[in-house]
Amino acid sequence: MAVQGLARLGPVMQLAWLPEDFDAALDHWTRVMGVGPFFLMENIALEDMRYMGQPTAAIFTLALAYWGDTQIELIRPENDAPSIYSGPYAVRDRMHHTCLLVDDIADAYAACKAQGAKVLVEGKVGDSGHVIYADPGGGPGSVVEMLQPQPGTADLFNMLRQAAATWDGSEPVRKLG
């Protein structure tokens, strides 16, 4: 039987959290869980970002690391602009969303439409990447991110994965950029 629904777009590659205390979460993930190093991407503002169809100026910081082949993402909102990091979708201290990598964002939109998933956020990532976050019907905590990466993203993710594979526990949080 062929894979159906949103799962046909690809496997989950990331699990993401929106912690109440970002620094404490980084400490927990690195010290207790042994996941790291985390790489910070600070003050991100997606180009042409829309939340519920309306333009928004949401800014956020990400910390990314790998646990085996699964990417772990911790998110810190940097302002209170409308987004999934504020309001009803801002579930804290539990899984916030999963992420799938897609080859064609138009295919992701079509899959969302076919499944009745509500597009919450959409925007550009770099010059040629795109992202959408959708609620497939489970409400807050069940959001699915679909990312069409820009060139270079695979190299970045591979670097993060390699850093995790050889991490000795030192320098648990590092800045990108």
Model confidence pLDDT, tens digit, residues 22-44:
999 999 999 999 999 999 999 99
Distance of CA 48 to the CA centre of its chain: 17
Domain assignment present for residue 171? The answer is: no
Residues 6+ apart with CB under 8 A from 119: 109, 112, 132, 133, 134
Domain assignment present for residue 21? The answer is: yes
Domain assignment present for residue 108? The answer is: yes
pLDDT of residue 4: 85
Model confidence pLDDT, tens digit, residues 54-95:
999 999 999 999 999 999 999 999 999 999 999 899 999 999
Q: How many domains does the chain have?
A: 1
pLDDT of residue 112: 97
* pLDDT, the chain, mean: 96
Model confidence pLDDT, tens digit, residues 86-103:
989 999 999 999 999 999
Domain assignment present for residue 177? The answer is: no
Structural domain of residue 11, as residue ranges? 5-165
Helix (H, G, I), strand (E, B) or coil at 86: coil
Residues 6+ apart with CB under 8 A from 110: none
CATH number for the domain spanning 122: value is 3.10.180.10
Residue 17 has pLDDT above 80, yes or no: yes
Domain assignment present for residue 80? The answer is: yes
3-state helix, strand and coil shares in percent for the chain, rounded to the nearest 5: 25, 40, 40
29, 35 Cβ separation under 8 angstroms: yes
Domain assignment present for residue 35? The answer is: yes
